[in-house]
Homo-oligomer: A and B are copies of this chain.
Amino acid sequence: MTTNLRDHIVLRLGKDIDNLELVLSKFIPLQYKRNEIILREGETCRYVYFICSGALQVFVHDQDMNETTRDIIVEDNWCSELMSFGKQQPSSENIRAIEPVQLIAIDRQGFQEMMEKVPQFDKVYRQILEASYANSVYRINSFVALSALERIRWLMDNRPGLMTRFSSKLIASYLGIHKDVFSRLKAKI
């Protein structure tokens, strides 16, 4: 179960990591069925997850309970609500399994132990944070000024796998456009 994570870490930090097995032992395996909610807004996020297989949706609700999807995250990537996890405060976001998913998770205690004992782990966290930030910046710069059609093109250029793998409804909520509009414009490409 930890094979993916081991590969992931070795790829980023090299093979010579002293406490790699110790780190891995702090992760617990979890699995969820399609459509299960893993984190609900208002709850405190207890884990940082690494996705071994499957995919997660991170989303918020607006006042009419419509979903806006901030991110769709697939296998071999990290997922959490870092603000809630870091400060142990209520989450403003929800996380849902959009496919059957196998996760390995580290809780706050294990996380902090690792931060203190394993200097390399500190780097992993920083890389997660930096990558998450870079993603967000990229998305803001791309989306804020783009039309619906341009957003669809952006998705095809940047994350082509999503278009075929997930439902139109989900993709539309990720692009911030309505599913009818998405359906219409898709035909024009």
Contacts and interface: CB of A to CB of B under 8 A. Distances in A.
Interface residues of A, number: 27
B140 A66 contact: no
A130 B132 CA distance: 10
Interface-central residue, A133, A134, A143, by most chain B CB under 10 Å: A133
A70 interface: yes
Contacts of A68: 141, 144-145
A89 to B, nearest CB: 11
A141 B82 contact: no
Interface of A: 60, 62, 66, 68, 70, 82-83, 86, 92-93, 126, 129-130, 132-134, 136-137, 139-141, 143-145, 173, 175-176
